[in-house]
Structure 1
Amino acid sequence: MNNIQQFPFISVSGAPFERGVLYGQQAKERVHGSVRLYGQTLVHLGYSEQARKRLIDFFAKQIENFAPHYVEEMRGIAQGAGVTFEDIVMINARTEVLAKARAEKVEAVDSEPGDGCTGALILPERSATGNLIHGQNWDWRAECVETSIVLRVRNDNGPDFLTFVEAGGLARSGFNSAGVSITANYLESDRDFTQLGVPLSLIRRKVLEQEIFSLAMKAVGTTPKSCSNNIMLGMAEGFGIDFECTTNESFAIYPGEDGLIVHANHWVSEVALGKLVDMGLGQSPDSRYRDWRVRKLLNQKDKLGRADLKAAFFDDFGAPYSVCRPPRLGSHDNLSATVAMVIMEPAVGEMEVAPLPAIHKVFTRYSLKDEPVLVAA
C-alpha cells in the first residue's frame, strides 16, 4: 500500500460486446485482480462445483432477463481480459453471494471485512456553485485500491456515463450526461434472501442509462433484489432522494430542511423499521455516528463546495472506525479501509476520486469530455 496509484481511466464506445472487449483489454490486469479476489469466493464459502454453477447460472439468467445487452457486454469483458464469463458474473454479483452466505450463517463469510460506505448529497440551494454535489466514501477491502477503475462509456443508445467501479463490473458510483447520479451503501435486513433478484451492480448500471430521472427512480424502486441496499440518487436539475431498499420494497428518504441527504449503513426510515429488522449493525456499529458526523460538519457552513464535502468525508472521529477509515486489520488478516472517496458534480460533468484517502489525499478529476488531471485535496 506504500506505492498508491491513481485509478486508471478506461474510455469505451460502440455496441455492448465491442465496448466490453475494449474494456477488458484496457483493464486486463485489474480485471484479473478482481477475479483473484472474488473468483474463489464460492469455493471458500464451501459451495460444491455443481452448486457454484447453479448459482452463477441463476444470476446470469436474471441479468439476461433484466437487460440482455449486459450479458453481451460482460461476455465482451471476459473475452478482452482473457477470463471466463462466470468470473465476470461473479464480480458483478459478489454482494449477493456474500450476503446470501451471511444470511445462511456460513462461517467463512466472517473473514470478509464490512462493506461500509458513507454517502451524502448537497442540493443546489446549499451549494456554493448552485449545482448539486453528490459523493461517497466506499469502505471495503483495502486491496481493491489495486483492482478498481474509472470507466467512461460513450453510449450509442442513451446518455454517456462515468462510473467508479471494480474492474470487470458494469457500474458502482457515477453519473450520466443527463445529470442523473448514484451512490449506494450496504444495508442488511431480515428479508434478505427471501427471494432472489437482479444483482445490485446491474440496477446501478440501469440507473446510469436513464435520461429521465423518474425512470431512474423506477429502476431502483421496482426491480426485485436478493438483498437489502441503500441507493442515493441525484438529479442535476436540483433534486435528490434516497431509497432504503429491501428485497421487494423501497422506502424513500427526502432531503432535510438543511438541503442535505446523508446516509451510512443502518436503516433510518421509521416506516421501514416498523416492518423489518436491521441485521447489519453488528457488522458496522460505527454507522450510528458516521452519518451524524458528516451532517454536523457540513452544517458548519452555509454554502458548500466540493472541498467542504471532501473535508467532511476526511473526518477521523472514532478512528479507525471513522468516516474516513484507515487500513485496519479485519478478521483473518484481511485489510479493511476506505478504498476511495468519490465526489461528483454532474452539472459540469466531473468526478473527483482519491484512492485510500485516509493516507493518500490526492485526487484525479475525471470528466465526460476531457482527459483526467490530478487535483489537490
Structure 2
Amino acid sequence: MLEIHCSGTPHEAPRAQVLGSLAFYRQLFQETCGLDWTAVQAEAERYVAPLTRLAPRHLDEIRGIAEGSGVDFLDILALNVRTEITFGLFTDAASSTNGGRRRQSDGCTSLSWFSPDQKEDESTSSPKRSFSYLAQNWDWMPAQRANIIILYIDHPSSSHPPSSNSDPHPLPQIATVTEAGLLAKTGLNSHGVGVCLNALRCRGVDRTRLPIHLALRRALECGSRADATQALRETGLAGCGHILVADAATGGVGLECTSRWVRELDMDAAGRVHHTNHLLLLDREVDGMDVEDSVWLADSRPRLARVKELTAGITVPDKGSQQQEEEEEEAAPRPSMESLFDVLKDEQGYPASINRRQNLPRVKTETLFTIIMDLAARRAQVTFGRPTEFGEKTLLSF
C-alpha cells in the first residue's frame, strides 16, 4: 500500500493515484447525479468562498495537491466534496443512465467500544484496565481500490514542544487511510483521537458548512473527542454522513450529520456505539417529511442488528482458572483487536454482509479495507481487501 508522508507545504502528491481517483469520480458523478465534469467543477467552485472562511489552511493544501498532481485546483476540491455530490445532489439532476433508480452503493459498518479505568479488584489484586477501540469496514466500489493510500501528516509543530512564540495547542500527527486527493478519511492522531465514517443519503447540501471529508480532517486535528464534537457542531456539515469520533480517555460518540443538524448518538450501557448506513436519530415530528430517511440499502438495518449481536457475544478471554470465574462475575466483556477483527469478518447476509462482497448487479460495493484502532495505545491495524482474504496488513502507530 502506498504510504505518503507529508510535512509542511503539501506540493508532493501521488499523481497516478490522484488521476485514478479523478477518473473514478468523473464516471460516478455522471451516473449518480447526471453531472459532467464541467458541471462538477462549477459545483466545487461554490465551496471556495465558504471554505476561505471556514478552512483556509485546508484550501491551501488542496491547491498544493493540485499543483503537485498537475491538475486543476477545482478537480481536487471536487474530490473533497465527493460525498456532498454523490449523496446530496442525487435528486438535483436525474441520472438518465440509471433510469431514476437508486444506486446501491456503500455498505460501511463501524463501531466504538470504551471502558474507563476501574478500581482494583480486591479478589485478584489486579486493576481492571481501561480500553478504547474504534473500528470499521470501509466498503466501496472495487474500481477505487487502486487509489487508496495511507497518508501521514506531520505538522511542523507536531513533534516539538511549543515555544513562547508558538501555538500553545500544536496540531497532532495524523495517520489516515484515504483516497488519493482527499485530505482525510478514517484514521487516528497522536493524541489518541480517531474517526470513522458511514455514508448516509439525504437530499440537499448547505455549501456554507464544512464538507464531510474536511470535517474528518478537522476532527483529526483535535486533542479530544469533546473538542472534535464542538468543532463540528460550530461549523455544521455541508451534507449527510455519520462520523464516529472517539478518544482514549472518554470513548466514542456518533455524530449523525445532515445539512441541517448534527446530533449525538451516545454510547450504550456497555460503552459501545454501532452504526451502518441509515439515520438513527431522525425525528419526524421535528424534521418533517422532507428529510429523506436514508435506508437506501436494504441490508443496513440487518447489519446494524448483527454487529450489535456479535459485540454483545464478546467475553473475557479464557484464563482457564478460578481467577477467571471470579472476574467474570463482575467484569464486563472486554474486546481486543483480534475479537473485533472477527466481528468484521462476519458474512451473515452474504454478499451484502458486514464483510461485503461485490455481486453485480445487486451489490456494487465490497470491503476494501478494515481498520481497528486501539486508541489508548495510539495504534491501528489495517488490512486491505476483505478481512477473510486480505492481501496486505500494516500497523499505524505513534
TM (normalized to structure 1)? Answer: 0.85
1:13 to 4, 7, 16: 7
Are 1:97 and 2:126 matched, yes or no? Answer: no
Letter in 2 for 1:37: F
- Answer 1 or 2: which has greater helix percent: 1
- Give percent identity, aligned residues only: 25
Aligned partner of residue 236 in structure 2, secondary structure: coil
Tell me the CA shift for residue 11 of structure 1: 1.3
User: Does the aligned pair in 1 maintain the 2:148–2:178 contact within 8 Å?
Assistant: yes
Q: Show structure 2 runs of 5+ residues with no match.
A: 119-127, 157-169, 316-332
Give the match for residue 373 of structure 1: none
Are 1:221 and 2:215 matched, yes or no? Answer: no
Q: CA RMSD in A?
A: 2.6
Distance 1:305 1:126 in 2: 16
Distance 2:90 2:385 in 1: 27
Give the match for residue 319 of structure 2: none
Give the match for residue 117 of structure 1: 108
Aligned partner of residue 131 in structure 2, secondary structure: coil
Aligned partner of residue 198 in structure 1, secondary structure: coil
Give the match for residue 369 of structure 2: 340
Letter in 2 for 1:204: L
Aligned partner of residue 309 in structure 2, secondary structure: helix
Distance 1:182 1:323 in 2: 19
Distance 2:253 2:284 in 1: 16
Give the match for residue 152 of structure 1: 152
Superposed, 1:98-247 pairs within 5 Å as 98-104=86-92, 106-107=94-95, 108=97, 112-125=103-116, 130-156=130-156, 157-189=170-202, 192-193=204-205, 197-247=209-259
Are 1:357 and 2:386 matched, yes or no? Answer: yes
Letter in 1 for 2:7: S
User: Does the aligned pair in 2 maintain the 1:159–1:211 contact within 8 Å?
Assistant: yes
- Distance change (3 Å), C-alpha of 1:342 and 1:289: same
Distance 1:80 1:305 in 2: 40
Distance 2:254 2:243 in 1: 6
Q: Show structure 1 runs of 5+ residues with no match.
A: 1-6, 370-377
Q: Deviations over 1:84-113 (max 9, x none)?
A: 212211111111111233132522465854
Tell me the CA shift for residue 138 of structure 1: 1.3
Q: Deviations over 1:113-166 (max 9, x none)?
A: 412211100103599973211011112111222111111111124111111110
Aligned partner of residue 237 in structure 1, secondary structure: coil
Distance 2:102 2:16 in 1: 25
Distance 1:344 1:289 in 2: 24
- Distance change (3 Å), C-alpha of 1:201 and 1:257: same
User: Does the aligned pair in 2 maintain the 1:88–1:168 contact within 8 Å?
Assistant: yes
Distance 2:34 2:281 in 1: 36
Distance 2:283 2:40 in 1: 37
Distance 2:339 2:284 in 1: 31
Deviates more, 1:177-186 or 1:355-364: 355-364
Tell me the CA shift for residue 272 of structure 1: 6.9
Letter in 1 for 2:188: F
Distance 1:326 1:42 in 2: 23
TM (normalized to structure 2)? Answer: 0.81
Are 1:84 and 2:92 matched, yes or no? Answer: no
